[in-house]
Amino acid sequence: MSMHFLFLLALPFLSTASASVVGRHVPHDDHSHRLEQRLPSATWYHHRDHPVHSLFRRDGDTDGVNYAPVGSSEWAAGYPPEPPTLPDVKSIPASWIAALNDAVSRKAIPDIPPSKLDSGGNPTYAGKDPNSPEICSSTYQCRIDGDIWDAPAGSIGLSFDDGPEAGSEKLIAYLKTVNQPVTHFLIGSNIRDNPDTFLKIFELGDGICVHTWTHPYMTTLTNEQVVAELGWTMQIIHNSTGGRVPKFWRPPYGDSDKRVTAIAKEVFGMTTIIWNQDTDDWSLTDSPPGTTAQKINSSMHTWLTGPKSPGLIILEHELSDQSVAAFMAAYPVMQQNNWNIMSLADLVGHNASYQNSDSNTSPVNGVDIVNAKNNSPPSSSSSIAAPSSASGSKPANSASSPASSSPSSPTQKPSSALAQWTIQPIALILATLSFLLLH
């Protein structure tokens, strides 16, 4: 048998084996690639109405843990029971208290006594000025550094409070018809009591954020009670969404101060979001009503046709069909005035709604709610982080912790065993050729 004949005989096998190596995608995250044009934001993605979004939708991405089915008795038993009163601080998991104590010992939590409500429902601080730099009460429009009140110029960040509630079904149906993502600030006890509606919200793809467990005035609570209100709401969202940890929270009544905001950030890694316009739509169903659809329409028209700097974060609710109808009437006006309309969490979170996942369908880093702040979302096929420089430094929303500390995820590199099986056909062919040539 001639050497030329053996070479020709081996060619098809060499080509096939080489193709199996070249064609196989092996992640290589340890160096950067130069891009000819910088991507428009920290994360690139397709809107839900884009055909590519459905093509590459990653249904079922979770942290790999088998949680109790949402709505089951086993699932409900894991959270504070009815009625929706303040959670018992004695039932707070030890890891949450440890995180709180650590933050207090680092003096990361200001030593501010809980407030007391006056006859008008406003928090007071025992003779201290609520607008002082020490307290900075958001009820009195004091803005704490890092809290979010405004959208970027020209943008509207859409969000709805208090769900799942009576108006949620109407809102979900409308959002489907207009292909518009929004953010939902959900009450934890409402999730427990309305699991089917919660799942519809999640399956819609909308960002899910925290609006506490029982909707109290947060500044009136002790440190431990604040932890319970935030923690249980985060936990039910985490266990009901495949392990996702919310990135944002909104205080009921807009009631926060430096102490409460610090607990949310230092213990749970959440950023506080307030608003810069208020529809009062929550009072549409009061008796007598506190506002009317006509008043809301008039306010919306003023805001939407007025200056675009700063951008708008409008307080709206999914409490009733009436409050949702007010949004439905305003949405075409938003479009007609050429606003950049986005889900609020995506708009201010660089298209990442959660601390450990970009969206409801992207990969999830498996982590508990107190350690999520030390992690970043894994990369996914539908979101590409824009490099901050040619030197390969991490994007702005990446955690500083090394990759080796991150939990395993669907985006891990193939194991060495897989690489061996990929290369072995070439080695086998070459060994066979060597044997035949020598004999």
Task: Show which residues are catalytic.
Answer: 161, 317
Beta bridge pairs of residue 156: 312, 341
Q: Which amino acid is at 181?
A: P
**Residue 95 to residue 209: CA distance in whole angstroms:** 21
Q: Are 272 and 261 in contact (CB under 8 A)?
A: yes
Structure tokens at 47: 């809107």
- Using DSSP's 3-state secondary structure scheme, residue 415 falls into coil
Beta bridge pairs of residue 246: 354
Q: Nearest Cα to 326, choosing from 308, 301, 354?
A: 301
Q: Are 75 and 239 in contact (CB under 8 A)?
A: yes
Q: Phi/psi of residue 208, each to 5°?
A: -115, 125
Q: What is the DSSP letter of 410?
A: T
Query: Residue 326: enclosing H or E segment and its boundaries?
Result: helix 321-336
Q: Work out the angle at residue 320's Cα, subtended by the Cα atoms of residues 315 and 326, and round it to the nearest 5 degrees.
A: 55
Q: Phi/psi of residue 33, each to 5°?
A: -115, 140
Q: Nearest Cα to 293, choosing from 243, 347, 329, 249?
A: 329
**Residue 226 to residue 212: CA distance in whole angstroms:** 9
